Structure formats: structure tokens, C-alpha cells
Structure 1
Amino acid sequence: MKFAVTGVVLAAALAATGAAKKPADDSVLKQIQHAGVLKIGTTGDYKPFSFKTPDGTLVGADIEMAKDLAATLGVRPEFVPTTWKTMLDDFKGGKFDVALGGITINPDRAAVGDFSIPNVSDGKRPIVRCADKDKYTSLDAIDVPATKVVINPGGTNDKFAHEHFTKAQIVVWPDNKTIFEQLVGSQADVMVTDGVEVDLQSKLHPGVLCPAAVAAPFTHFDDAYLLRKDKDLHAVVDGWMWQAIASGKWKRTYDAAMN
């Protein structure tokens, strides 16, 4: 079921945010509706949220939700490619209205845009070859000179590794689609990444890659959609997201992308 911006979704958003007036004529929301297109920035390299298949088709939970969001706004979706390293500059440069696909809420991003209510709560965990799952069970166990920690440049994994590992070798692998093959082929030993990615890649590489047996995630964070700063757009997206979560639509979309 789709929800019109002026109907259920907007009512829920206005109630949630305490807004009391209709969108301003010059709001970002009005600009998007006038243009008839929602520009969506995504990396296309992060299963199960956003991933480009070999034939170039974008798939994933956030891709499907983005199509639904555009329909809710009464516009068409236009997906704009970006990378983890360039995403923030691309966003600040006005290349897209919303960034999504496993986007972690952090201060740098929050300073230049609005975040929707979260749709994922997660934490950083290590993924390793299954033979090593009881070896790399803490930050100290990982941070030794013989360990090779692989990272994708520009994202939160990059930042986490450089903040926590001063002795381990940090190996940069620019292609997030093939980065886990570095673990499979023993070119690297550990990747510390979002828990959802650890679980999915372990499922995709049964008996080869496993979650390390850590007592708890190393961090806690929330993922959300990064929006151009605008109270009207923020209110509508929050209402739409709230409805998707409350109705179970987000979970069904996410579960389908995990299979």
C-alpha cells in the first residue's frame, strides 16, 4: 500500500515532529516534487542494502525502499552512483537529495544533512576465516604486527581501523564488492565491519568465513537515510520510515534481500 504525502504518511510525520504547517513553497520537498524526481545517492557495493549485479542492476533492501519512497513523494527515483570515499563531498555538492544503503549516522554527515529515523541498529564486529574464529576475539588480539586488517577506503571501517589498530598491518582494498575474497584467499586475516555484513558474508561463504567469537560488538551505531536539510522533507521521510517499520514492510524487504 502506498501512502500519499498529504495523507497518512504526512500526518504521522507531523505528529512525530510536532510540525504544524504545510510545506513552504521553496522547501526542498517542493523542489523535488516540482522536478518530478528524487535523486538517490548509493554506493551499490553493500549487500544487503545496495548492490549492483553483474548486469548493472541495482538491488537490495534500501533500493526497494527508495523506489517506494519516491512513489510516496509522487516522483520517480533516479539513482546516482557514489563511493564511500566521495559520498559526503558528492552530497554537499548537490548531486543527490538522499544518500542510502547502510549509511551510519555520524557527526560529519549530520553536520551537512538531516538523518531520518534509523532503520538499522548494529555494531562493528570482525569477520575472519573460520579456522581463526577463536583467535581474533578482541581488539588486542587483532592489533599485533602479524595481522593484516583489510579495509575499504573512506567509510566507517577505514576510520575504525585507523583509530584502533596501531600495530596491525592495514591493507586497503578499493573494491568493496570483492573485499571479502581477500580473506578467503589469505591476503588478509581480519575485516572489522558492520555486524549485518559479517552475518551475510558468513552466510555467503559457509565454512570459509565466520564471525570471530567476540564477547560483544566493538561499537554500537544506527543506520539511516541522509537527507538534504529541510524540515518538510525530514518530516515526510520520518513518517514514511516509521510506517514502514511499524507495518513490518522494512523487515520483509530486508529479509528478502538477505536471501
Structure 2
Amino acid sequence: MKTMFKSLVAALALSTASTAVVAQDEYKALQDIQSSGELKVCFDAGYMPFEMKAKNGEFIGFDIDLGKQMARAMGVKYVPVNTAWDGIIPTLLTGKCHVIMGGMTITAQRNMQVLFADPYIEIGQSILLNPKVAGEVKSYRDLNDAKYTVVTKLGTTGEGAIKRSMPKATVNLFETQTDAVLEVTNGKADAFVYDMPYNAVYAAQNEGLVTHLGEAFTYEPLGWAIRQGDTDFLNFLNSYLRQIKGDGTYERIYNKWFESNSWLQQVQ
């Protein structure tokens, strides 16, 4: 893996030099990663099972393992940069991290600010219900009524899904997904709209307190995000993703976090 990374960087540098003159102020993440010996990765901890804070204070999760594996392949140190979601893109753009590996859905608006690698996983929005309305709400369409209070995290694709699919609902937005979903658990809201993997884990942890409508009603590809114009890094990320999906590394990490719940005991 380490040899592959060095060879790929060399080939990309040669290709760039032979086809175009790179502006002096153009940012090149691969060069910075090599010179610093660090891969700085942005995420917002608390998104199960992608990135979480364990009881021992360490960050764990699907995205965390993918990032650590990438850093090992590069022969550099993995440096986690836990960042509030509403500031995660500015953190990337100001150079405080090299890449966002944090369950970010690829959207047109985000793509105007960042460059996305190929999707590494595909998910969608699902719904957690308070049991008192579970008998009358069978799908997202039923929530399109002012009598229902629907909650989600501010600035997420869940917010967009609510606006598109249930515009008549009463909507409350929260800074974190934890605060939002607790409104449903505590009976202060009827439904929580959020990413299906998170909802599935939360429902398993809080059996009887919420009801999960587990069929996703949106299609959302997640991608690693980098600064615009950095095509060398984009090429590396796409090549690396193909490599780990082909050699079984991706499947091993995926199964650890999505096919098993043994990791739950590590989470706060």
C-alpha cells in the first residue's frame, strides 16, 4: 500500500508537469501530506456508526477506520479533526484538514464548494416515530400535515428531505442529531428524519421508545470531499477506493460496523 501511494504520487506529478503549468498558489494536498507526514481528516463525531467518540475518548467508526487505513497505505499519521457540522466545509477550505471523511452526502450545492470523490457508500433518509403515532403514520407521506412535529439536524440532507417531502409538517431544527432525536424519544416531537444507518442503530439501542420506518425514502450517495481544483488528490482517492473495494479491505471494515453491533459497548 505504501509503495503504491508513492508510485501514484510520482506518476501524478509527472503527468501534471507534462500537460500543464501549475499555478504557484494552487493547493496540492498530496504534497502537503507527504511533507508533513500527516493525513488530517475532518468529521463531526456523533454520527453512528460512521464517526463516534468511544468511552476511552478515542474516535471510532466506519469513516474513522477508512481514514486510518488510508493513512497507513500512505505511510503517514492519521490526524482526526473533529469539527461541528456547520463549519466542516470552511475547515477544509482553510486548510485545517486535507479531506472530509464524515458521512457527507454529495449534493449540487456542496459540489459548488468542494470536489467529491466517487461515492463510497449509498444511503437514504428514514424515519423514527414516537410510538403514539406509529399506528397512524405508515410512510413519510403521512407526515405531510401540520398536526405532526418533525425534527432533524440543522443543515443536513434530512432538513432538505423534510422541506421537499413534507412541507406542511411543523418542523423544528437542532444543532445535533442527538438533541433532535431525543425530542421524539421524550414525546416532544412525532418524527425524526435522518440517515437510515444512524436511525437503525438508534432504534436498536432504544427498543420500545421509538419505531423505525426502515425503508429509505431518498437516495443519497456519500463521498469524500476535498478542495476544488485538486485533481491529483481526487485521482488518488478514486484509485484508492477501487483498490480497497477490490482487495476485500472495504468489505472487512464495512462488515465490522454494519453487520455487527459488538462495537456498541465502546460508545458513550
TM-score > 0.5 by shorter chain: yes
> 2:40·2:78 contact (CA, 8 Å) conserved in 1?
yes
Which residue is 2:150 aligned to?
149
- Give the CA deviation at 1:78: 1.4
CA distance, structure 2, for counterparts of residue 61 and residue 101 of structure 1:
9
> 2:141·2:165 contact (CA, 8 Å) conserved in 1?
no
> 1:48·1:60 contact (CA, 8 Å) conserved in 2?
yes
- Give the CA deviation at 1:46: 0.3
Describe the shift of the 1:116–1:3 C-alpha distance in structure 2 as closer, same or farther (beyond 3 A).
farther
In the superposition, the TM-score normalised over structure 1's length comes to 0.84
- Give the CA deviation at 1:80: 1.3
Instruction: Provide runs of 4+ in structure 1 moved above 4 Å.
Output: 19-26
CA distance, structure 1, for counterparts of residue 134 and residue 256 of structure 2:
28
Equivalences for residues 122-137 of structure 1 within 5 A: 122-130=123-131, 132-137=133-138
Which residue is 2:242 aligned to?
242
Which residue is 1:208 aligned to?
209
CA distance, structure 2, for counterparts of residue 171 and residue 27 of structure 1:
40
CA distance, structure 2, for counterparts of residue 132 and residue 251 of structure 1:
37
Which residue is 1:65 aligned to?
66
> 1:227·1:234 contact (CA, 8 Å) conserved in 2?
yes
SS in 2 for 1:256: helix
CA distance, structure 1, for counterparts of residue 133 and residue 252 of structure 2:
33
> 1:91·1:97 contact (CA, 8 Å) conserved in 2?
yes
Which residue is 2:122 aligned to?
121
CA deviations on 1:170-192 (whole Å, 9 max, x unpaired) are 12232323432222111111111
CA deviations on 1:112-163 (whole Å, 9 max, x unpaired) are 2221221211122212135544532334310212211111112211222234
Which residue is 2:46 aligned to?
45
SS in 2 for 1:117: coil
Farther-moved stretch of structure 1 (50-59 vs 69-78): 50-59
**Aligned-pair Cα RMSD in Å:** 2.6
Find out whether 1:217 has 2:216 as its counterpart.
yes
CA distance, structure 2, for counterparts of residue 119 and residue 202 of structure 1:
24
> 1:133·1:212 contact (CA, 8 Å) conserved in 2?
no
Which residue is 1:255 aligned to?
255
Farther-moved stretch of structure 1 (39-48 vs 160-169): 160-169
User: How many pairs are equivalent?
Assistant: 249
* Higher relative contact order, structure no. (Cα contacts within 8 Å, ≥ 6 residues apart): 1
In the superposition, the TM-score normalised over structure 2's length comes to 0.82
CA deviations on 1:27-62 (whole Å, 9 max, x unpaired) are 321122112111111001101101123443211011
CA distance, structure 2, for counterparts of residue 150 and residue 91 of structure 1:
28
Farther-moved stretch of structure 1 (50-59 vs 182-191): 50-59
Farther-moved stretch of structure 1 (188-197 vs 126-135): 126-135
SS in 2 for 1:85: helix
**Structure 1 gap ranges (5+):** none
Describe the shift of the 1:64–1:23 C-alpha distance in structure 2 as closer, same or farther (beyond 3 A).
farther
> 1:48·1:254 contact (CA, 8 Å) conserved in 2?
no
Which residue is 1:76 aligned to?
77
**Structure 2 gap ranges (5+):** 262-268
CA distance, structure 1, for counterparts of residue 249 and residue 129 of structure 2:
32
> 1:202·1:211 contact (CA, 8 Å) conserved in 2?
yes
> 1:152·1:174 contact (CA, 8 Å) conserved in 2?
yes
